[in-house]
Amino acid sequence: MRDFLVAGNWKMNGSSAANAELIDGIVAGLPAGSGFSLLVCPPFPYVAAVVSQVQGSPVKVGAQNVSEHEKGAFTGEVAPAMLRDSGCEYVIVGHSERRSIYGESSAQVAAKFVAAQAAGLTPILCVGETLEEREAGSTEAVVDEQLDAVLDAAGIDALGAAVIAYEPVWAIGTGMTATPEQAQDVHRHIRERLAAQNADIAAGVQILYGGSMKGDNAAGLLAQPDIDGGLIGGASLKAGDFLAIAEAAASIKT
């Protein structure tokens, strides 16, 4: 059975004081039980402080982006080894905001995925379609292209040490959530695509849902057989909102 991962993507939000209050609130309110993990992904400048603040708690820390390069003359970039050195365990790659605002291609995302794993990080690979693509009936084709770029670059075995997040772009930050059935259909499709190459890896990989997940819709989404947690933006910025999703995960596992 796969565990749940409840991951908060703080995006470009927070401050030292606000982060400390948020982490205190999360750690103080952690639901009891097992079968789920919590992860927070702060902006780069706060990673080290958050790593030290969560020490002794089960909360893990990740980053929101990473360079595909190992080191050198890449002004403004952050190398995978630096994130690992700072205490990160995970890194998000290919978030739709990176793809659409910063023009990251699927090939570049795949290179980031490979570089992250080489440094000992677990990549969280984001895939998902826009509203226009969904309405045109090309959801699966879009997700396949994003997934295949990583499979081609890294190989199926690499997915055994990674997490996938299905994030329909039209649901991110909009308050429009995919229905549990819409999300499950895509999650099942992703797992079947991986299973065509390696059934064991497909069965073990965590596939998170992301897109306006909140305390009041998490239980329905997490009850789906191929949804293994959430990648959460807005609702990860308040301890109570984030914990409500963690509670939904905990109650399904107990």
- Does residue 213 belong to the site contacting ligand PEP (CB under 6 A)? yes
Kindly calculate the radius of gyration of the chain based on its CA atoms and give it in whole angstroms: 17
Applying CB under 6 A, the span of 35-43, 79-87, 130-138, 165-173 interacting with ligand PEP comes to 165-173
For residue 13, report the phi and psi dihedrals to the nearest 5 degrees.
-130, 155
- Tell me which residue has tokens 């073990």: 204
Copy the structure tokens of residue 101. Answer: 């605002």
Q: Torsion-angle region of residue 87: left (phi > 0), alpha (psi -120 to 50) or beta?
A: left
167 assigned to active site? yes
CB 58 within 8 A of CB 26: no
How near is the Cβ of 155 to ligand PEP at its closest, in Å? 26
Judged by CB under 6 A, the chain residues 20 through 49 that form the site for ligand PEP are: none
95 assigned to active site? yes
Nearer to ligand PEP, 167 or 228 (CB): 167
Nearer to ligand PEP, 59 or 172 (CB): 172
Catalytic member of 129, 133, 167, 247: 167
Q: How many binding residues for ligand PEP (CB under 6 A)?
A: 13
Strand 229-232 and strand 122-127: the pairing is unpaired
Q: Please select the residue that binds ligand PEP; options are 6, 40, 59, 172, rule is CB under 6 A.
A: 172
Q: How far apart are CA 87 and CA 109, in angstroms?
A: 22
Catalytic (active-site) positions:
95, 167
Give contact residues for ligand PEP (rule: CB under 6 A): 9, 167, 172-173, 210-213, 231-235
